[in-house]
Amino acid sequence: MNFLGEGSKVKAYVFFRGRSILFKEQGEVLLLRFANDLEEYAKVEHMPIMEGKRMSVMLSPKKSTPAPKKENKEKKEE
């Protein structure tokens, strides 16, 4: 499934458990690398933010030209 291709937003998050909350920088780097990998398909709606023990980033699809409609190719009889 290609949610960004369908026009949906994607929210990616890193959940910190226990003492792993000490490594917030690594979580931010991971989310930024994820957003960078999807750069041609999506733009970052908001940079990584902490929400309790969860750091998340929101991606929205880039505006692109609509995909060409599938046309029924019928053989024309002559």
Q: Which two tokens stand for residue 3?
A: 């949610």
**CB–CB of 48/16 below 8 Å?**
no
Q: How many domains does the chain have?
A: 1
Is the confidence at residue 77, as pLDDT, over 80? no
CA atoms within 13 A on the CB side of 6: 6
- Residue 31 counted as domain residue: yes
Q: What's residue 65's pLDDT? A: 46
pTM of the full predicted structure?
0.73
In this predicted model, what pLDDT tens digit does every residue of 34-70 receive, in sequence order? 999 999 999 999 999 999 999 999 999 988 645 555 5
Q: Which domain holds residue 25?
A: 10-61
24 belongs to a structural domain: yes
